[in-house]
Chains A and B, each alone.
Chain A
Amino acid sequence: MGLKQDSLGIRIAGMDLRNPTVLASGILGYTAESLRRVVEGGAGAVVTKSVGVSSRVGYENPTVVQASCGLINAMGLPNAGIDKFVEEISQAKAVVQSPLIVSVFGYSADEYALVAKKAVEAGADAVELNVSCPHVKNTGSEIGQNPKLLGEIVKKVKVSVQKPVIVKLSPNVTNIVGIGKAAVQAGADVLTAINTVKALAIDTEAALPILSNVRGGLSGPAIKPVALRCVYDLYEQVKTPIMGCGGITTWRDAVEFLLAGASAVQIGTAVALKDPDVFHAVSRGVKTYLKKKGYESIHEVIGVAH
């Protein structure tokens, strides 16, 4: 026995990842060059910033505020609009060897489907539906909190693209498993759990909320236990592969998510807390763990904590 040659490799919905670390949406990810940098830093796959039908400039600063053990952000979905962004997608496809996942948002099922279709035509290996952004009205979590609406959107996107459809779930719901099931029933190939936790920061001197949008989403180590619980619960109830996301900073965090049932982990905030090389560091640590525990490959670890 002992470690297999490709011990970290994993196939998720037909995508081959050389290791289970994935760049989470919203971090860097405007440009092909920034995605390449992250892949050089060791990411097994990358998710772009969310893109919609038309361009958005996002909110005024402050858009990010540091909290204890995490960050609260309300960027406001700044993006170029899909018709411009397709250039970066095709360029990224040319320079990035790892699977390229394009994060998509919209204000209706038709918009999600249209953006997803254009992204796939430009070279996306999969789309991740952002139905969980907690700080933009009429999209994001307002959709991800409504199983019926979510189902309609997933169905429509599934019809318009031939590539895997990933649904990124919001933790800002009473029952994430119910929402996850709705997404899977509508055809979701993968679930990402979780997006940021709706949050607020106030400055005592100014006696004001700090973010220009007032409310934002909390990410980083602060939300790891919440995310871990969501992955654990989902794994019990759905067969679809899960990407764990929320506060993963070290190999130990990553292994916890694998044990809880995730097939891969998305890393975002740690890119700021550490650096783009964090993906290498996490992968190396996971590999050492596998070896030490006598596993042949990562597949044997997934869901073991159940």
Chain B
Amino acid sequence: MKLLALRTELNTLRTTPILSVATESPAVKTFTLKDKLCAKAKPGQFLMLWIPNVDEIPLSIMKTEGTEVSVSVKQVGLATRHMHKMKKGETIGVRGPFGNSFTQKSSKALLVGGGTGTAPLIFLAKVLKARKKRLAFVVGAKTKTELLFMNDLNQICSEQSLTTTTEDGTYGLHCFVTKPVATLLAKQKFDMIYTCGPELMVSKIFNLAEQHRIPLEASLERLMRCGIGLCGSCMIGKYRVCRDGPVFDSEQLRDVKDELGISKLGFDGTRIPV
């Protein structure tokens, strides 16, 4: 408790230059910043990024190295459109790292990522691999050009342990990620599933995990404002995604099954569809 208090109090906004920008796909760029605190993040944690004069948004941490931290940003709205115009050397604000992290308790894990939700799983997979844990990775996107982090994935995974799907069949299997996940779960033994991506996907993967009685950890996304467990914007059931999450285990997910993949709070605090 004391440690948490210290963390929130010391975790003030600081400004830092963008060190590099890499294009991952037509809609996704990865930004690398210098930030000692966030460089200490664990897989699953997130940071709050302030785009001066525009907005402040939560982003999953995708990579850390030395004193550097990377986040992948998909163009979806005003703030992310602005981000995409930003270049190396420009100043940006950062707070974090916030939230909990994946447990890394598995000995053989199945990782299931959809879209930019794959980012924290790449971070996790690298750590798991460094700790000599076995893993299989299923990654999906709508179409080939939207498949992210293929270079990283090919480095982390062997050919047999990586499954790629696209909804339009332009690359890998022509299906949703759920199909190969169901096949893998029927054929192989896993002791943990880690997942992140669109919430409908997460909720389907959770159902599969429940059917196969395999523990699962999912990183969830909600509208966030304060990032420190204060404002209540990111509630799911009794949990604050920013502080009690963003990673939730099977037991917690059972608690919130009325909302998972169904509803979230909007900017005015009313429930809206996910």
Contact = CB atoms under 8 A, between A and B. Distances in A.
B45 to A, nearest CB: 17
A62 B238 contact: no
Could you tell me the dominant secondary structure of chain A's interface residues? loop
Contact of A63 (B225, B229, B235): B225
Given A56-B268, A58-B268, A64 B55 contact: no
Contacts of A49: 232, 269
Nearest to B12: A66
Interface in B248-274: 265-270
Interface of A: 26-31, 33-34, 36-37, 40, 49, 55-58, 60-67, 69, 71, 73, 75, 78-81, 84-85, 203-206, 208, 210, 212, 268-269, 271-275, 277
Contact of A64 (B54, B93, B228): B228
A36 B5 CA distance: 23
A36 B108 CA distance: 38
Given A30-B232, A63-B225, A81-B268, A36 B15 contact: no
A63 B265 CA distance: 17
A273 B243 CA distance: 11
Contact of B225 (A33, A75, A208, A268): A75
B269 A80 contact: yes
Contact of B230 (A30, A31, A64, A69): A64
A139 B265 CA distance: 25
Interface of B: 1, 4-5, 8-9, 11-13, 15, 50, 52-57, 91, 93, 95, 225-233, 235, 237-238, 240, 243, 265-270
Could you tell me the dominant secondary structure of chain B's interface residues? loop
Contacts of B235: 28, 30-31, 33-34
B13 A271 contact: no
A73 B226 contact: yes
Contacts of B1: 274-275, 277
Nearest to A84: B270
A78 B226 CA distance: 13
A271 B268 contact: no
Q: What are the 6 A-B residue pairs with the smallest beta carbon separation, nearest first?
A: A205-B15, A28-B232, A57-B267, A272-B230, A61-B56, A30-B269
